[in-house]
Amino acid sequence: MSAISELSQLRRGGGKRGQRERPKDTKAALVFLAPWLLGLILVTVLPILASLYLSFTKYDLFNAPEWIGLDNYVRMAQDPRLAASLGVTFVYVLVGVPLAMAAALGVALLLDKGLRGLAFYRSMFYLPSLLGSSVAVAILWKQIFGVDGIVNQFLAIFGIEGPGWISNPDTALSTIILLSVWGFGAPMVIFLAGLRQIPVMYYEAASVDGAGPVRQFFSITLPLLSPIVFFNLVLSMIGAFQAFTQAFIISGGSGGPSDSTLFYTLYLYQKGFTAFDMGYASAMAWLLVAIIAGFTAVNFALSKLWVFYDD
């Protein structure tokens, strides 16, 4: 009885003591959160607000911003190079993302078969995703698909004279898309983790009913993996819209032949840091935010039709 009474007293007193110590806990939490909050405000919030203000100004980095209202946005509607950069970017996103997703899922299905040395293969396939957006890999890719690159040297063995893959406007964008597909490691690891969560009993029951591997894939694997597919799709699409390094290095910052690799982010860079039209570049950045938000919203709206959850 004494232990019960002491426990009840602790419970009655614990509330008061907890109320007295709560301000101290709040202060301690704020102290630990202060560096993150300070970074959030100084590095993220303030630059975002500044870019929103600059998008309504004429600003060249050297003189004070001059308020011009919606002129930058009107200029964007009349800019043919901006329209061309949007077209290149949309092709890159709508072609590169599905191909990378398909490659990631295909390799994940192979690795899910219980291969020996799985950790080694998983690391090897994941490594390109760590290097795919680096300057070194972009330079290497430029050498591989150059006029005297490895690809053309290989074709020369069979008497085929390969074109300048990067200097040809018909193939320049394809080489960059191929580079994005090559870096499928990150979604592959996520797919592999999702495949490991699918109960084996579903496949055993389907086998008993006579379902083959293809039927099992479309009736079991894809529906149960659809949340993972949706997650990878959204992240990959957002990352594809922000692609910059590959196009900048491979095209030398010019946008390639006939602007065939003029990504939207590359054109934004040219306007902001080459032409020093920072107000116009800020307006372009906000247009990119709106485009990404729109595509993401569409993905979430359509996900109700094909993404299935346990509940």
Q: What is the pLDDT of residues 277-298, one digit of tens each?
A: 999 999 999 999 999 999 999 9
Tell me which of 162 and 261 has the higher pLDDT.
261
Angle at the Cα of 220 (from 214 to 221), degrees rounded to 5?
A: 80
Tell me which long-range contacts 261-267 makes (C-beta under 8 A, separation of at least 24).
Answer: 261/88, 261/172, 261/173, 261/176, 262/81, 262/84, 262/85, 262/88, 263/85, 263/88, 263/89, 263/92, 264/82, 264/85, 264/86, 264/88, 264/89, 264/288, 265/89, 265/241, 266/85, 267/81, 267/82, 267/85
Question: In this structure, what are the phi and psi dihedrals at residue 254, rounded to the nearest 5 degrees?
Answer: -95, -20
Which is more confident, 139 or 42?
42
Least confident of 90-94, 214-218, 251-255: 251-255
- Looking at per-residue pLDDT, the higher value among 97 and 311 belongs to 97
Report the pLDDT value the prediction gives residue 3, as an integer from 0 to 100.
46
Q: What mean pLDDT, rounded, does the chain reach?
A: 86
Across the range 92-104, mean pLDDT stands at: 94
| pLDDT tens for each residue of 234-272 | 999 999 999 998 888 888 888 888 889 999 999 999 999
- What is residue 132's predicted lDDT score, i.e. its pLDDT? 56
**Integer Rg of the chain from CA:** 27
Domains in the chain: ranges and CATH: 2-54 (no CATH), 77-306 (1.10.3720.10)
Residue 151, pLDDT > 80, answer yes
Predicted confidence band at 143 (pLDDT cuts at 50, 70, 90)?
A: confident
pLDDT of residue 24: 66
- What is the structure's pLDDT at 91? 96
pLDDT score of 18: 46
Model confidence, pTM: 0.85
Checking if the pLDDT of 78 tops 90, the result is yes
| 125-134, 151-160, 222-231, 301-310 — most confident range | 222-231
